[in-house]
Amino acid sequence: MIKYEPKTIEPKWQKKWLEEKTFSATNDTTKPKFYALVEFPYPSAQGLHVGHPRPYTGMDIVARKRRMQGYNVLYPIGWDAFGLPAENYAIKNHIHPATVTRENIDRFRKQIQALGISFDWDREINTTDPAYYKWTQWIFLQMFKKGLAYKKEMSVNWCTSCKVVLANEEVVNGVCERCGGEVTHKVKSQWMLKITEYASRLIDDLDGLDYIERVATSQKNWIGRSHGAEITFGTTAGDELQVYTTRPDTVFGATYMVISPEHAYLKKWAGLLANNNAIAAYQEEAAHKSDFERTELSKDKEKTGVKLEGVEALNPATGERIPIFISDYVLASYGTGAIMAVPGHDERDYAFAKKFGLPIIEVVAGGDIEKAAFTDCETGVMVNSGFLNGLAVEEAKKEITDWLLRNNKGEAKTNYKLRDWVFSRQRYWGEPIPMVWCETCGWVPVPEDQLPLELPHIEEFEPTAEGDSPLARHDEWVNTTCPHCGGPAKRETDTMPQWAGSSWYFLRYCDPHNTAQIAAPEALEYWMPVDWYNGGMEHTTLHLLYSRFWHKFLYDIGIVKTKEPYSKRTSHGMILGENGEKMSKSRGNVINPDVVVDEFGADTMRVYEMFVGDFEKAAPWNTSSIKGSRRFLDRVWSLQEMVLPSEDCRPEMEAPVHRAIKKVTQDIEQLKHNTAIATLMALLNDFLASGGVTRGEYKVLLHLLNPFAPHITEEIWEQMGFGAPISGQSWPVWQEDKTKEDTVEIVVQLNGKTRAHITVASNIGKEEAIALAKAEKAIAEGLQGKTIAKEIWVPGKLVNFAVKG
RNA sequence: GCCGGUGUGGUGGAAUGGCAGACACGAUGGACUCAAAAUCCAUUGGUAGCAAUAUCGUAUCGGUUCAAGUCCGAUCACCGGCACCA
């Protein structure tokens, strides 16, 4: 027998699969379809690291098994290649992002192909390809036409030294990551997408989907639907202040108000206010903080704020005058940018009131407001609240909301934490936003027949001194004519965020070479929705939500026929470094899969990554235990020397074989690849212990192992002369009656402690089992002189006597 | 801070409320070898015992149950996300 040499057999099969298009999906509608999707990678300059193959291999196993079960499987891959790192790399090294991106993609493709993932390489896509982003731009234009894209003044991070708009990630401890310079906020006019218009549908439509619990919960919490009321407070300035609250029942306890430092009334009221200087100073201070810092409620963080001198509010319930403060814990971006403060029943308000010596009134009895805010809605009863007194919180909410409506002082309101999507980036390496500004006509879309609006080739990637995209420097590109009136006009120079290209890529895979449409309607109808989408938890809120939003929009305009893009969503855990920390270049704990493939082979790499632990949980890499996976494959290989003459399964092997088929088949569908592999290892150990393997048994083992270790199994299959490749064969089926043994071992317990084991017929009944258990010596002794309070029988497993005395 | 998650031998991990530690890695001893590597065999949660066995043991404290790693409450530690990283 020749030695197991992954280095020769792996490239052999990879070449064959590519040449024969073994894994290319066809639009064969006679077969049931299965669309498996993994998040396409950002092709970074660092190349693939061992974290990437985990989801690819995990879904590859499902895809390969489903093909053998007769499904027409679509398992595609592509490149999410626009983005900040390529641009920053370009600025630093003076290499064009397009060049860097091309090189990175070539490297990634080579690395992934060396792993034997059954991707359909005929459908590879690339978000930076104009033929692809033509449709990203097209979708944006449709949104603009439907009023879902609009311009708004938004604040961005601004490095005062580099004069660059910074991503949040580039702001480290309040200073610029590159130069350490001071970071402030700068207001820029930005394109926004109205995702909030879809907020309720994005929550409600989760119900019919098979998303793992924590993903669905995260989506719901992120959208943050709450039911409450909008209440109108009068002011001594004559203007009305709207607040949103989820606790309208506590309005009698509102002893002051807080508005965000950015609130528009501050400007309006300047003439009435005596302390404009203090207010301006506070606004300046707040401008330096992120929303994240502002809402942080750490123990040692003191609440800050400034009282407005000269304007007071009127509590609509009590009619009393109450002070108004500005404080940074109130965000302009949530609700109305103003709150009624109820220190007795809100922790932040309580801390603020204590700091500023403001009155705290108890309006819900049940806690001790001397010590802390009482926030329990379940048990509280209303007090000090006029006509609400004596009511439970939920009743009081209804009562006060009705009262507010009758008195024209407010109404019930559903609110969302979700904010509209800031869609502009002042960067080069992204899809140009296909809009033109005309002094006469305003914002005019680039006509659809002029798409794609290609990104011009430039050599200078530094943003302008005003913080505009580097595209702004290229007058010959910027200056154009208005598509509407023909007059002089300027192109939008902002580009789209990286999220854009990944918000619809799963549709393009259905028909990736179509030049006339996103994809042919028949292709979309056949393949969509994605049957199973696996991705990282880090994409649970943003990418997943953005792509669901775009899909719903495309549904509304009739492009797709399903309301949701993904039927099922699962999530894999990260591969951590050997030290248990996240793998990163800066920590120096990155493992390159090439090294593993070179030393052990791709099949070992695949088996190890799937065996390392629960697919859904993070797992630390451990180089020294990889050899266990290699040893397993070596033993499967050397089984070739132990083949017994018989074709059939030996009688004593029927139960282990059928149980293994069942276990592996079921485990794969639950992504429990680690226990599936353990089952195969145990089956192999059974074969070795029995002195060999029959041809029939060997076939089953190779078949079940094939999705995990495709190269070695195909090679052995061929060398054994088993016929056509396994990838074209049908998946084994188990027979339930053959998985069962005739006898089972039953555990006998006294008060839950194991005291004996009995071996009985597997179909034994309760009475008989209990009688046999009582006959056991250890049990009989234990029961002596005691009363049996309860006899518990778990069929086929356990007898437990609860005894007293 | 807010939201979501995790915590089991020396290590990675397994366990529909029903024998905790499957399957591996490592370690120890042995076989083979001039020797080493590789391979094969045996042992391997702690404590006591020659052993049968007993007893403790799933982050901490408490609860529910005939029975808890699993369910409930509190605490601690760690990880992911927090809207311009992807």
The DSSP letter of residue A264 is: T
Supply A84's token pair.
């900040």
Average pLDDT, integer, range A24-49 = 91
Q: How distant is C1' of B11 from CA of A592, in Å?
A: 22
Span A235-248, mean pLDDT?
Answer: 92
Which nucleotide comes closest to A747 if you measure CA to C1'? B19
Confidence of residue A291 (pLDDT cuts 50, 70, 90): low
CA atom of A625 to C1′ atom of B36, Å: 22
CA of A796 to C1' of B41 (A): 35
> Per CA to C1' distance, which residue is closest to B12?
A612
A452 preceded by cis ω (within 30°)? yes
* pLDDT band at residue A744 using 50, 70 and 90 as cut-offs: confident
Distance, first Cα to last Cα, chain A: 68
> Which carries the bigger pLDDT value, residue A173 or residue A450?
A450
pLDDT for A756 equals 84
Distance A562 CA to B39 C1' (A): 57
- What pLDDT does residue A298 have? 39
Residues recorded for chain A: 805
State both tokens at A647.
């074709």
pLDDT at A295: 61
What is the mean predicted confidence (pLDDT) over A759-766?
A: 84
pLDDT band with cut points at 50, 70 and 90 for residue A784: confident
Q: Which nucleotide is nearest to A545 (CA to C1')?
A: B83
Read off the pLDDT of residues A387-398 as tens digits, 9 standing for 90 and up: 999 998 888 999
Q: How far is CA A528 from the centre of its chain?
A: 20
Q: From the CA of A334 to the C1' of B5: give the distance in Å.
A: 26
A299 pLDDT band, cuts 50/70/90, is: very low
Protein residue minimizing CA–C1' distance to B67 = A752
Interatomic CA distance for residues A259 and A332, integer angstroms: 8
- At residue A330, the pLDDT reads 87
Question: Which nucleotide is closest to A81, CA to C1'?
Answer: B86
Q: How confident is the model at residue A367 (pLDDT cuts 50, 70, 90)?
A: confident
Question: What is the residue whose two structure tokens read 């154009």?
Answer: A480
Q: How far is the CA of A370 from the C1' of B73 (A)?
A: 25
Q: CA of A656 and C1' of B49: distance in angstroms?
A: 37
With vertex at residue A785, the alpha carbon angle to CA A784 and CA A791, rounded to the nearest 5 degrees, is 70
Task: Give me the CA A632–C1' B40 separation in Å, rounded.
Answer: 14
Within chain A, how many helices (H) and strands (E) appear?
25, 34
- pLDDT bin (cut points 50, 70, 90) of residue A297 is very low
Which residue, counting CA atoms, is nearest to the C1' of nucleotide B65? A752
Q: Kindly report the average pLDDT of chain A as a whole number.
A: 90
Peptide bond into A529 cis (omega under 30): yes
Nearest nucleotide relative to A541: CA against C1': B81
Q: CA–CA distance from A139 to each of A189, A557, A559 (Å)?
A: 21, 10, 10
- pLDDT band for A199, please (50, 70, 90 cuts): very high
Looking at the DSSP assignment, which residues form a beta bridge with residue A171?
A: A176
Nucleotide in closest CA–C1' contact with A418? B83
Is-contact A96 A415, C-beta < 8 A? no
Task: Specify the nucleotide whose C1' lies closest to residue A166 (CA).
Answer: B84
| pLDDT value of residue A293 | 66
State the pLDDT at residue A389.
Answer: 92
Which secondary structure element, helix H or strand E, spans residue A709, and what is its range? none
Percent of chain A scored above 90 by pLDDT? 60
Average pLDDT over residues A646-672: 94
Q: How far is the CA of A218 from the C1' of B4 (A)?
A: 6
What is the Cα A188 distance to its own chain's centre? 29
What average pLDDT does the segment A608-618 reach?
93
pLDDT digits (tens, 9 = 90+) for A418-454: 989 999 998 899 999 999 999 999 999 999 999 999 9
pTM for the full predicted model: 0.92
Task: Give the CA A576 to C1' B10 distance in Å.
Answer: 20
Coil/strand/helix, residue A22 = coil
Residue A764 banded pLDDT, cuts 50, 70, 90? confident
pLDDT tens per residue across span A456-508 = 998 888 778 778 888 988 999 999 999 999 999 999 999 999 899 999 999 99
Per the structure, the residue whose CA is closest to nucleotide B6 at C1' is: A617
Q: Does the pLDDT at position A71 exceed 90? A: yes
Across all strands, nucleotide nearest A624 (CA–C1'): B25
* Separation in Å: B66 C1' and A783 CA: 15
Nucleotide closest to residue A574 (CA–C1'): B80
The enclosing H or E element of A507 equals: helix A505-508
CA of A614 to C1' of B8 (A): 14
* Count of alpha carbons within 13 angstroms of residue A215, beta-carbon side: 26
Determine the distance between A756 (CA) and B48 (C1') in angstroms: 22
With CA of A792 and C1' of each nucleotide, the nearest comes out as: B66
What's the pLDDT score for residue A777? 80
- Residue A693 confidence (pLDDT): 94
Contact predicate A191/A143, CB 8 Å: no
Q: Which nucleotide is nearest to A83 (CA to C1')?
A: B86
- Burial (CB < 10 A; 0-12, 13-18, 19+), residue A404, is buried
pLDDT classification of A300: cutoffs 50, 70, 90: very low
Residue A296 clears pLDDT 80, i.e. is over it: no
Q: pLDDT (tens digit, 9 = 90+) per residue, A328-337?
A: 888 887 888 8
Could you tell me if A202 and A185 are in contact, meaning their C-beta atoms sit under 8 angstroms apart? no
Q: Give the nucleotide with minimal C1' distance to the Cα of A634.
A: B39
User: In the structure, how far is the CA atom of residue A415 from the C1' atom of nucleotide B1, in angstroms?
Assistant: 21
Task: Using the predicted structure, report yes or no on whether residue A294 has a pLDDT greater than 80.
Answer: no
Q: How far is the CA of A753 from the C1' of B65 (A)?
A: 14
pLDDT of residue A301: 58
* Nucleic acid strand B: bases within 7 A of protein CB: 1-6, 11-16, 18-20, 22-26, 38-41, 54-55, 66-68, 79-86
Return the minimum-mean-pLDDT range out of A168-172, A210-214, A307-311: A168-172
Q: What share of chain A is helix, strand, coil (3-state, %, to 5)?
A: 40, 20, 40
CB A361 within 8 A of CB A252: yes
Render pLDDT for A309-322 as a digit per residue (tens, 0 to 9): 999 999 999 999 99
Our measurement of CA A693 to C1' B43, in angstroms, reads 28
Closest nucleotide to A543 by C1' from CA: B86
Q: For the ranges A200-214, A517-531, A735-749, which has the lowest average pLDDT?
A: A735-749
Q: Which nucleotide is nearest to A803 (CA to C1')?
A: B66
- C1’ B32 / CA A446, Å: 79
- The more confidently predicted of residues A578 and A698 is A698
- The pLDDT of residue A187 is 83
CA angle, residues A85, A87, A93, in degrees to nearest 5:
100
